[in-house]
Amino acid sequence: MTSPTPLTANGYDQDSPSRHRAVTIRGEPAGRSPIGLNPQTRSKIFEPPAEKKPISTYSRGAANIVGAMKRHRVRRLAVVSSAGVAPHSYSDGGFLFNRVLLPYVTRVLGKTMYDDMRRMETLVRASDLDWTIVRPNGLYHLPSPTDYTLVEGHADGRFTARVDLAASMLALLDDDRYLRTTVSVITTVDNPTLLQWIRREALAKS
């Protein structure tokens, strides 16, 4: 597997400073800028591969974006992290998911990626921006947004549709309830089974 490529959006390199009202580190900028994220289409969310090689995509991108936003006096920032940075057991996870798959993915297979996400979160929290950190769970495809759940802290759900993640990011830009906090977004309908998710998502990227 190759190393992650720089985050790009319509020609913009998110590893280089640029001006946006609000930005998502994991994917294209979201907000009232020329570079929009359309929740009605399949979300173009950049997902570096889970691998054991060192990853710095998230932290480097965040450092450049935070610096650029400060210079241009842009305050609202929403970044996408992952529930994997602070893993919890799930009520419907069962022994295989909670005790085998989840620890392996977060501590072994994706360790360097989640370590870099933690560095990104630390950098964002240390800024004086009006930030929100969004942690989705296992990402999968749905054709249109659902009545997703957005809660502060941990959410007891294993899956997040990319289109719901995109819709929640757009909604957060005009919502002051979650400033300077971490939220979780989950999709509660049309979830795949664990086997379906592995076949469609994990194996498709291998």
In this structure, what CATH number is given to the domain that contains residue 26?
Answer: 3.40.50
Q: 11-23: per-residue pLDDT in tens?
A: 334 554 433 344 5
Q: Look up the domain containing 156 and give its range.
A: 8-205
More confident residue, 81 or 11: 81
Has residue 2 been placed in a domain? no
Has residue 32 been placed in a domain? yes
Under the banding of pLDDT at 50, 70 and 90, the label for residue 200 is confident
Q: 88-123: per-residue pLDDT in tens?
A: 999 988 888 889 989 999 999 899 999 999 999 999
β 130-136/149-152 pair status? unpaired
Has residue 60 been placed in a domain? yes
Has residue 143 been placed in a domain? yes
Under the banding of pLDDT at 50, 70 and 90, the label for residue 47 is low
How high is the pLDDT of residue 2?
A: 35
> At residue 164, does pLDDT exceed 60?
yes
Show Cβ contacts of residue 50 under 8 Å, excluding neighbours closer than 6 positions. Answer: 105, 109, 110, 113
Instruction: For residue 184, report the phi and psi dihedrals to the nearest 5 degrees.
Output: -115, 140
DSSP string computed for the chain: -PPPPPPEETTEETTS----SS--SSSS--SSSSS---TTS----------SS---HHHHHHHHHHHHHHHTT--EEEEE--GGGS----TTTHHIIIIIIHHHIIIIITHHHHHHHHHHHHHHHHSSSEEEEEEE-EEE--SS----EEEES--S-SEEEHHHHHHHHHHHTT-GGGTTEEEEEE--SSPPPHHHHIIIIIGGG-
Provide the number of structural domains found in the chain: 1
How high is the pLDDT of residue 133?
A: 96
Under the banding of pLDDT at 50, 70 and 90, the label for residue 173 is confident
Has residue 87 been placed in a domain? yes
How high is the pLDDT of residue 14?
A: 52
How high is the pLDDT of residue 93?
A: 87
Has residue 139 been placed in a domain? yes
Has residue 1 been placed in a domain? no
Q: What is the pTM of this model?
A: 0.78
Has residue 109 been placed in a domain? yes
